[in-house]
Structure 1
Amino acid sequence: MKPLVLILLLALTLSGCNASKSIATFKPQPLKIDLKPIALSSGIISHEPMTIALTPIVDAPPATFSKADRIVSYAFAFDGVRYKRGGTSIDGMDCSGLVVTTFERENISLPRISRDMALRGDPIDLKEVSKGDLLFFATRKNSKVISHVGIVTTARDGFVEFIHSSTTQGVIVSNMAEKYWYFAFVEARRVI
Structure 2
Amino acid sequence: MGRVLLKSSILIFSIFLFASCGSSRSRVVTTKKEAGRTEKVTQVYDRTPSVESEDKTVNKVVRTAKKFEGTKYKYGGTDKKGMDCSGLIYVSFLEEGISLPRTSRAMSLEGKRLYLKEVNVGDLLFFETNKNRKVINHVGLVVEIDDDGIYFIHSSTSKGVIISSLSETYWYKNFVMARRVI
Q: Same fold (TM over 0.5)?
A: yes
- The structure 2 residue matched to 1:183, chosen from 157, 168, 173, is 173
Partner of 1:123: 113
Using the aligned pairs only, state the percent identity: 54
Unaligned runs of 5+ in 2: 1-52
Once residues 191 and 82 of structure 1 are traced to their aligned partners in structure 2, the CA distance between those partners, rounded to angstroms, is 26
Once residues 155 and 187 of structure 1 are traced to their aligned partners in structure 2, the CA distance between those partners, rounded to angstroms, is 16
8 Å CA contact 1:127–1:158 kept in 2: the answer is no
Partner of 2:93: 103
Partner of 1:153: 143
Partner of 1:114: 104
TM-score by length of 2: 0.68
Once residues 147 and 176 of structure 2 are traced to their aligned partners in structure 1, the CA distance between those partners, rounded to angstroms, is 20
- RMSD between superposed Cα atoms in Å: 1.4
Partner of 2:128: 138
8 Å CA contact 1:124–1:189 kept in 2: the answer is yes
The alignment of Structure 1 onto Structure 2 pairs a total of residues equal to 129
Of structures 1 and 2, the one with the larger relative CO (CA 8 A, separation 6+) is 2
Once residues 176 and 132 of structure 2 are traced to their aligned partners in structure 1, the CA distance between those partners, rounded to angstroms, is 13
Segment drifting more, 172-181 vs 157-166:
157-166
Which amino acid letter does the alignment assign opposite residue 143 of structure 1?
R
Once residues 148 and 122 of structure 2 are traced to their aligned partners in structure 1, the CA distance between those partners, rounded to angstroms, is 16
Q: Cα distance, 1:100 vs. partner?
A: 0.3
Partner SS for 1:115:
helix
Runs of 4+ off more than 2 Å: none
Q: Cα distance, 1:157 vs. partner?
A: 4.6
Q: Cα distance, 1:144 vs. partner?
A: 2.4
8 Å CA contact 1:166–1:172 kept in 2: the answer is yes
Q: What per-residue deviation string (whole Å, max 9, x for no partner) do you get for residues 137-174 of structure 1?
A: 00001332100000000123561000000000000000
Q: Cα distance, 1:126 vs. partner?
A: 1.1
Unaligned runs of 5+ in 1: 1-63
TM-score by length of 1: 0.65
Q: Which has the larger radius of gyration?
A: 1
8 Å CA contact 1:123–1:187 kept in 2: the answer is yes
